[in-house]
Structure 1
Amino acid sequence: MNTFRTLHRSILVLFAVVVIAIVTLVHFSISKIVAEQSRAQQQSLSPAISLIVEQLLKPLHISEALGHSTELVDLMDGETIDQDAVFKTLDRLENEFGLSFFIASEADRKQYNSDGSIINLIEGEVSWYFKYKDYPIDAVADIGKWEDTHFYIDIKIHDEDGRFLGFFGVGKSLRSFIEVFDTYKQEYGYDFLFVDSEGDIMLSSDPSLIASYSEFTNLSELPWYASLPVTIQSEQALNNKLVTIDQKDFLIAEVKLNQFGWTVFLLSPLEDRQAEISQAFIFSVVTLLVVVFSLFLLIYNLLYYFRKDMQPDLVVRHSNRLPEKDNLQLIYKTLLAEHKSLSVMLLSVDEFSDIVDAHGRNAGDDILDKVVSYLAEHMRDQDILGRWSSAEFIILLPHTGPHVAFDMAQNLRHGIATLSPLQELPEIVITASIGISYTASPRAMHEVTAHAEDALYQAKRDGSNLVRMQLID
């Protein structure tokens, strides 16, 4: 009995361990996949952020820092401009930072470039100056110089009184951007789109999309963008959207460039990311299978061990393999010698012969198995259950007084009476009668069981489904 219950508990514990392990590993697998997705996303964004900082934000910060210098304000403040001093300063800045600089003076309406050229700022001919002069922001990004297209960052310059003096800025040839973008595309495999608030593509890793002679390509002109829902197009909400370009899937990530009012769309090939995530998923699944298989091997070996070790106890688990009277004699003597006292309980299934006559032997065996199963689950570890006759069972209760045994018998009787009926014979109500006797001295088993039998028959005579007790004088 003890071995059986130990096995039962061990299986429950192992089952719980298996469930917990599976849930934990599934959670780990999902976390691993999500982490891998995040890592892939981060891995794709990190070079893009580096490129944006190096190619756009660094020139912006340089121009903003220089735009606040007193040297520059002094050059631009006044009714006339010292052109030699301006060109000398611009040439020095170009050599120092490796960028093209310019000063657009409000005083004489001229633009001085670090390459030595001068452009007259005439309204109607040079649109950018007069367009951005009235802008509410102090830093503007623009594309211009169409004979050699440049990306410009224009910084407004004011004197101490807030009077507008003109623009100072930095320019980079788009050819340099195309070369950098191409290097990134070959190394990381993705494309860039720098788009303004109107949807015009300002910069791109695709040379065919870069503006030419003031003609900008708009996002709406791209076939893959036009295929997106109207709501997405109207909001330009493309982050984590999956698109198909030339029969290849791309995942879009977006980075806001609030300094310019632009959005950078990063088009990452899905095949590469799928391969990375698939590897993580396969690793997690293999780990899960190995752990589950190991746990089931443990369960199998545990069952094999108990099967070899528990043969004497297995006989008390099923009604057709309970110990018979001969074996019970030895068990009785052992228990009485060890515990000095015990109660004997004889239990008989009521109306068993009538049930067998009416419904057959199989129905009777099913009822006996149901009763034995209930008794085995509700007995104490030290109690012994055995077969007494065809429809009667004996329970040996070591070191248990008669009154305690009587209360236990009442509980067992009530539990049997409340058992669910057989599914195929719902009309049969299962009940049992119980007789009890007790000894605290070394008496023969037949002497104690005789009194228990008398008590059992008295319970039957009194109407069945009862407990009666007869003690030895």
Structure 2
Amino acid sequence: MTAFRTLHRSILLLFLVVVIAIVTLVHFSVSKIVAEQSRAQQQSMSPAIALIVEELLKPLHISEALGRSQELVTLLEQPKPDSEDVFAMLERLEQQFNLVFFVASEKDRMQYMSDGTVIPLIEGQVSWYFKYRDQPENAVADIGKWEDTHFYIDIKIFDDEGEFLGFFGVGKSLKSFLQIFNTYKQQYGYDFIFVDDKSDIMLSSEATLMAEYSDFTNLSELPWYASLPEDVKAERALNNRLITIDQQEYLIAEVSLNQFDWTVFLLSPLDKRQTDISQGFIVSVVTLLVVVFSLFMMINHLLAYFRRDIHRDIVIPPAPRLPDRAQVEDNYNNVLKAYHSLSVVLVDIDNFAVINDTYGRATGDEVHQHIVTYLQKALRNKDVLGRWSSEEFIILLPETGPHEAQQIAEALRKGMQDLPPIDKALQLKLTATFGLSYTATSRPMHEVTSYAEDALYQARRDGCNLVRMQLIN
């Protein structure tokens, strides 16, 4: 609850800063026309900000979050990772996030791609691995796979002792970027140029500027850039500068992407009416863009920070509310496909109806949330918790045999009966009854849960606060 209060106050503070910035800029606008055009300009730039965050920062956050997965660290700690496990994980992630994934192992010097290919990491033949391995940065953006050029984000993976284990990364085809940029250009008229610290063009809305077979176009090769004053080129200070390309005037907005050590140039075409706008109006528009973009990134990072603390499960992130039966069935199919075996546990809160009738629905809701919080903390990262009915939960335990599942259920049962009361004045003693089953083959969920329900009914008949198991014949 403290974390949510802190998040709420931080967002309110950022919102206040945004309001003050907009009011100040409007106050210094030269006229009502300038203010109206400023708002129109800002509305057209907002999609550009959203596009950069969606296409670049989101994959970065995904790769950073997944890079902390214990499943990934465990795979890379092996002298020779099991290729079936690696490909199963990569295929699952590709289907979930619609991105290309790869793992590069330091121990066996092999790179595993989500499309099923394996690339030996031989020094002198694969340059990127050895180049970035020895650099201090833990996250690197690069262009590669030249037969179908891709943009990659490479994340270094370390074990608990800080030993380098290899790389984990995500990739997107440059063709997809071109399609997205082209759609945006047709709708809003803006061109993008993403430049690294060496002035090489990494991404662009202009297809002829994209790299091919490690041949990058440098910013200095562009005619409009070559025509700029030497001091401007030396400092690469292009923000708010007007340029001419093919007899068309453009305004450049410059934004730094510190995560990649890149600079983004947004080239905005200006018609005659826009070119007559005063310099003060141009400064106001670009300043507003930079302020909103910076605050958008701050909010995005702030939400990502709290998401790391609140969302424990990386493989199947929990929703704000527990998954319902339909969602659980989707998770069941995904887990069974990824792990090939699982145990299903049904949990029934003992005397929940009596608690509701005696103490009211508000207390019942508190009891329900109290147990949900306990189960979420007690379960493993790969386990899935869902809602089965108003007083029942379902737990999916991937790669867990029936005897191990019974031990887990017994530990949960004991832990639940030892929970502190939600209200010392009420002194409610909470217990639950558990029924479980197991499958090592591809069966429909309803078939496995029917056996778990039979086991749950048996535990109720035997007195509740018990664990019973019924296996499929």
Q: State the TM-score, normalized to the length of structure 1.
A: 0.52
Aligned residue in 2 for 1:96: 96
Aligned residue in 1 for 2:165: 165
Asked whether the 8 Å contact 1:157–1:168 carries over to 2, the reply is yes
Query: Could you tell me how far 1:135 is from its partner in structure 2?
Result: 1.5
Query: Could you tell me how far 1:31 is from its partner in structure 2?
Result: 4.3
**Deviation digits for residues 87-137 of structure 1 (CA, Å, limit 9, x no counterpart):** 000000001111110000001111000000011111111111011111111
Aligned length: 253
Aligned residue in 2 for 1:253: 253
Whichever residue aligns with residue 109 of structure 1, its letter is R
**Deviation digits for residues 212-266 of structure 1 (CA, Å, limit 9, x no counterpart):** 0000000000000000011111111111000000011000001111000001100
Asked whether the 8 Å contact 1:152–1:171 carries over to 2, the reply is yes
The answer to whether structure 1 residue 53 and structure 2 residue 78 are counterparts is no
Whichever residue aligns with residue 173 of structure 2, its letter is S
Matched position secondary structure for 1:142: strand
**Counterparts in 2 of 1:78-227, with a 5 A limit?**
78-227=78-227
Matched position secondary structure for 1:264: strand
Matched position secondary structure for 1:30: coil
Query: Could you tell me how far 1:61 is from its partner in structure 2?
Result: 0.4
Aligned partners of 1:169, 1:110: CA distance in 2, in Å?
Answer: 14
Aligned partners of 2:214, 2:246: CA distance in 1, in Å?
Answer: 28
Asked whether the 8 Å contact 1:210–1:216 carries over to 2, the reply is yes
User: Gaps (5+ residues) in structure 1?
Assistant: 1-26, 282-473
Shift of the 272–89 alpha-carbon distance from structure 1 to 2, 3 Å rule, reads farther
Shift of the 127–274 alpha-carbon distance from structure 1 to 2, 3 Å rule, reads same
Query: Could you tell me how far 1:49 is from its partner in structure 2?
Result: 0.9
Whichever residue aligns with residue 230 of structure 1, its letter is E
Aligned residue in 1 for 2:450: none
Aligned partners of 2:165, 2:98: CA distance in 1, in Å?
Answer: 25
Aligned residue in 1 for 2:13: none
Query: Could you tell me how far 1:272 is from its partner in structure 2?
Result: 7.7
Whichever residue aligns with residue 148 of structure 1, its letter is D
Aligned partners of 1:207, 1:166: CA distance in 2, in Å?
Answer: 33
Aligned partners of 2:273, 2:56: CA distance in 1, in Å?
Answer: 27
**Counterparts in 2 of 1:425-436, with a 5 A limit?**
none
Shift of the 232–276 alpha-carbon distance from structure 1 to 2, 3 Å rule, reads closer
Aligned partners of 2:28, 2:200: CA distance in 1, in Å?
Answer: 44
Matched position secondary structure for 1:91: helix
**Counterparts in 2 of 1:316-465, with a 5 A limit?**
none
Shift of the 238–112 alpha-carbon distance from structure 1 to 2, 3 Å rule, reads same
Aligned residue in 2 for 1:73: 73
Whichever residue aligns with residue 134 of structure 2, its letter is D
Aligned residue in 1 for 2:401: none
Aligned residue in 1 for 2:425: none
User: Gaps (5+ residues) in structure 2?
Assistant: 1-26, 282-473
Shift of the 273–101 alpha-carbon distance from structure 1 to 2, 3 Å rule, reads farther
Query: Could you tell me how far 1:42 is from its partner in structure 2?
Result: 2.2
Whichever residue aligns with residue 213 of structure 2, its letter is Y
Q: Single out whichever of 31-40 and 246-255 deviates more from structure 2.
A: 31-40
Aligned partners of 2:29, 2:46: CA distance in 1, in Å?
Answer: 25
Whichever residue aligns with residue 265 of structure 2, its letter is F
Query: Could you tell me how far 1:80 is from its partner in structure 2?
Result: 1.6
Aligned partners of 2:200, 2:275: CA distance in 1, in Å?
Answer: 33
Matched position secondary structure for 1:64: helix
Whichever residue aligns with residue 51 of structure 1, its letter is L
Query: Could you tell me how far 1:29 is from its partner in structure 2?
Result: 7.0
**Deviation digits for residues 190-219 of structure 1 (CA, Å, limit 9, x no counterpart):** 100000011000000000000000000000
Aligned residue in 2 for 1:269: 269
Aligned partners of 1:70, 1:106: CA distance in 2, in Å?
Answer: 17
Aligned partners of 2:209, 2:97: CA distance in 1, in Å?
Answer: 28
**Counterparts in 2 of 1:285-300, with a 5 A limit?**
none
Asked whether the 8 Å contact 1:36–1:277 carries over to 2, the reply is no
Query: Could you tell me how far 1:144 is from its partner in structure 2?
Result: 0.2
Shift of the 179–172 alpha-carbon distance from structure 1 to 2, 3 Å rule, reads same
Matched position secondary structure for 1:253: strand
Aligned partners of 2:155, 2:272: CA distance in 1, in Å?
Answer: 41
Asked whether the 8 Å contact 1:40–1:273 carries over to 2, the reply is no
Aligned partners of 1:64, 1:28: CA distance in 2, in Å?
Answer: 41
Moved >4 Å (runs of 4+): 275-278
Aligned partners of 1:67, 1:173: CA distance in 2, in Å?
Answer: 21
Query: Could you tell me how far 1:46 is from its partner in structure 2?
Result: 1.2
Asked whether the 8 Å contact 2:29–2:35 carries over to 1, the reply is no
**Deviation digits for residues 314-348 of structure 1 (CA, Å, limit 9, x no counterpart):** xxxxxxxxxxxxxxxxxxxxxxxxxxxxxxxxxxx
Aligned partners of 1:262, 1:148: CA distance in 2, in Å?
Answer: 23
Aligned-residue CA RMSD in angstroms? Answer: 2.0
Matched position secondary structure for 1:260: coil
**Deviation digits for residues 49-98 of structure 1 (CA, Å, limit 9, x no counterpart):** 11111111111100000000111101111212111100000000001111
Q: State the TM-score, normalized to the length of structure 2.
A: 0.52
Query: Could you tell me how far 1:274 is from its partner in structure 2?
Result: 1.3
Shift of the 272–36 alpha-carbon distance from structure 1 to 2, 3 Å rule, reads farther
Query: Could you tell me how far 1:48 is from its partner in structure 2?
Result: 1.2
Aligned partners of 2:118, 2:103: CA distance in 1, in Å?
Answer: 10
Shift of the 65–272 alpha-carbon distance from structure 1 to 2, 3 Å rule, reads farther
Query: Could you tell me how far 1:38 is from its partner in structure 2?
Result: 3.6
